[in-house]
Structure 1
Amino acid sequence: MRPTVRIEQSGDGMHKVRKHLHDVSVEVGILRGKYKSEGDEPARYVAQVAAQNEYGHGRIPSRPFMRNAMRKNKKDIREGLERVARAETHAKSAKGQMMRLGMRAQNWVRREITDLRTPPNSPMTIARKRSSNPLIDTGRMRQEIQFRVFNKTGQTI
């Protein structure tokens, strides 16, 4: 599910703002094409584990680190998008503001992975991992959280 922004205001400059927000976007998460292979662990496995933890799967309860991070920082996201809008049609300025917002969102998600404690791991999992943090085993999933800014044609900028 990709978050969307809808601008309800109107006025002379709003056409430019609407156009510009459609011209540049940011994605945050474990991004396709950005996986790093390490050792014997297939890179796609990290994305699978993240999805199973985000939404729950089988005996794995839902631990929504992405949704929690975005919900907790709604105000900051709104303010970041307002900064992009104020950059008007200066593509360089808007790109920089989107880069800043992407970096901040990446950090919010990584912090949520670190801080989330409920639902807790089972005693058996805690014994195996030697840690009670439900979303951190090796730290690889947190490390794979990245962002990218792209233009309306889908090219990374």
Structure 2
Amino acid sequence: MARITVRFRDNNQIPELRRVLNELDRYSLEVGVFAENDTSNPSYVMIANVHEFGVTIQRERGSIVIPERSFIRTTFDEKNAEWVRFIRSQLRLVVTFRIDARTLWERLGAKIVADIQEKITDLDAPPNAPSTIAKKGSSNPLIDTGGLRSRITYRVVRV
């Protein structure tokens, strides 16, 4: 008579799943132009704020109005639902242990940065003043040298 050996493995992954899900809560994501990375003159943090919110500069002979050209807030408004779907797809990878929590946040940060950079490239309203177009040789309101676009970044912060 043949002898059959049966072995049981404990495949309970609930404790590991709990650890992975708790790890998701230990990170936050920040996206934008960060002051500690900005050693330029003029400051790209300042340039980003001016365009995001607009500004009126008072001068002796009148004023200069730089209109609001929101590229961060409007991207968040336009892409939020898409980002939620992206997070859901990445969560499937987290709960099946194919990626870790930090990787999810890194991937989301890279996606958001790419979306904001695309917005900077595509934004065309309000248009530049004719004198600004003549000075910089381009009608794209948010691109002159590409410095602002290239400084959009993210960081994953452990909380």
TM, length-normalised to structure 1: 0.74
Distance 1:64 1:18, change over 3 A: farther
- Correspondences of 1:32-111 after superposition (within 5 Å): 32-35=35-38, 37=39, 41-42=41-42, 45-58=43-56, 59-83=65-89, 85-86=91-92, 87=94, 93-111=100-118
CA–CA separation in structure 1 for the residues paired with 2:90 and 2:110: 14
Once the two structures are TM-superposed, the CA of residue 55 in structure 1 deviates from its matched residue by 0.5
Aligned length: 132
- Kept in 1, the 8 Å contact 2:20–2:100? The answer is no
- Kept in 2, the 8 Å contact 1:129–1:137? The answer is yes
Secondary structure of 1:134's aligned partner: coil
Q: Please state which structure has a larger fraction of its residues in strand.
A: 2
Q: Percent identity over the alignment?
A: 34
CA–CA separation in structure 2 for the residues paired with 1:63 and 1:146: 19
Once the two structures are TM-superposed, the CA of residue 67 in structure 1 deviates from its matched residue by 1.1
Q: Report the AA paired with residue 109 of structure 1.
A: I
CA–CA separation in structure 2 for the residues paired with 1:20 and 1:82: 16
Once the two structures are TM-superposed, the CA of residue 80 in structure 1 deviates from its matched residue by 3.4
Output one character per residue of 1:38-70: Cα deviation in whole Å (capped at 9) or x when no partner.
5xx25xx11101101001111010001001111
TM, length-normalised to structure 2: 0.73
CA–CA separation in structure 2 for the residues paired with 1:72 and 1:129: 29
- Structure with greater Cα Rg: 2
Distance 1:57 1:47, change over 3 A: same
Once the two structures are TM-superposed, the CA of residue 75 in structure 1 deviates from its matched residue by 1.6
CA–CA separation in structure 1 for the residues paired with 2:141 and 2:157: 32
- Kept in 2, the 8 Å contact 1:84–1:94? The answer is no
CA–CA separation in structure 1 for the residues paired with 2:47 and 2:135: 17
